[in-house]
Structure 1
Amino acid sequence: MTTTVKKLLSIGSAMSVAVTGLLVGSGAAHADPVWHQVVYIVTSKNPTYVDIFYQDQDPTVYSDYSHNPYSFTPQVHADISPDKPWVQPVNLLNPDQWAMVTATTGRAAPTPGGIQCNLSVDGNVVVSKNGPKGALCSLRTW
């Protein structure tokens, strides 16, 4: 090989390494959001029928939520008992702001032993509540 060809190959290799470094390095400044696994559980000591509302997504801005909270909190109706809990996993970016589940028997008589809810984040139960006609488990401070 001639000296000129060797120099061109050397320059080409150096430019290739530099361009590759720029392409790889430019994406590192942006971090992906961290999703948290939230699991809602509602159960009772005796068979009963409950209405449940739960937060299933993070609103982009609070005003979206305040103008239409039911678009972020689906309602389900469930027959529950000790051996048949209602369980709903969701993924939230900010569970401290949005994680919430509430269950109530409505106008029915109080359930002996009551209704219990549990809210876990990333495998750890962080809220557990119970009440005779319903329960609210929430991480919200508002």
Structure 2
Amino acid sequence: MKAPVPHAAVPAALIVLTCAALLSSAPAGADDPAAHRVHYTVSATQTAQALVYYREVQPPNFGEYSHNPYLYSPSADVTVGPNQPWIFDTTLADPQDWAMVVVSLPGNHKELASPGFVCELRVDDVVVATDSGTKGALCSTRTW
């Protein structure tokens, strides 16, 4: 015959079982990092055609990105100016590694103008990078 279990051991066992159940019943994406709102703005001091590359989708890892960066960083051929910004919003899990917008003159306009490009990068409504340049600008938080 088994010895009876002391009453003090029962609450401890219940606590252990309850904790184990809670941990194992966590929602299916609980380990996923929270998405951050990323807001890109590009403008210029003079109206001009611009080529904008920006990170729209976060790649699963650097290896995937290096095999096809344009899959994650599309481009837009746009007209920007003092009252005509280009604006794009996306979400990224790790904006400190992946958020980026770069603007330059399109290939056929490189010798023609110096429009004074300006870019701004916001993450969760906080400005994290700005840049300006006569023919291009880069706003990025990445460390590589």
**Structure 1 residue 111 displacement after superposition:** 2.4
Q: Distance in 1 between matches of 2:93 and 2:50?
A: 28
- Percent identity reads 37
- Of 126, 129, 132, which residue of structure 1 is paired with 2:131? 129
- Give me the TM-score of the superposition, normalised by structure 2: 0.77
Gap runs ≥5 in structure 2: 1-17
**Which position in structure 1 is the counterpart of 2:119?**
117
Q: Distance in 2 between matches of 1:83 and 1:111?
A: 17
Q: Distance in 2 between matches of 1:99 and 1:32?
A: 18
1:138 matches 2:140? yes
CA 58–104 in structure 1, closer or farther in 2 if over 3 Å, else same: same
How many residues are aligned here? 121
**Which position in structure 1 is the counterpart of 2:68?**
68
- Give me the TM-score of the superposition, normalised by structure 1: 0.78
Q: Distance in 1 between matches of 2:123 and 2:132?
A: 19
1:34 is paired with a residue whose SS is: coil
Q: Distance in 2 between matches of 1:110 and 1:121?
A: 31
1:101 is paired with a residue whose SS is: strand
Structure 1, residues 47-92: CA drift from partner, whole Å, max 9, x if none?
1110000001111121100011111100101101111100000100
Q: Distance in 2 between matches of 1:108 and 1:41?
A: 24
Computing the radius of gyration from Cα coordinates, the structure with the larger value is 1
Counterparts of residues 98-113 of structure 1 (less than 5 Å): 98-106=98-106, 107-112=110-115
Aligned letter for 1:65?
A: Y
**Which position in structure 2 is the counterpart of 1:82?**
82
Structure 1, residues 81-108: CA drift from partner, whole Å, max 9, x if none?
1111000001000001000000001314
**Which position in structure 2 is the counterpart of 1:16?**
none
**Which position in structure 1 is the counterpart of 2:4?**
none
Runs of 4+ that moved beyond 2 A? 24-33, 108-112
**Structure 1 residue 27 displacement after superposition:** 2.3
Q: Distance in 2 between matches of 1:31 and 1:63?
A: 22
Q: Distance in 2 between matches of 1:119 and 1:98?
A: 12
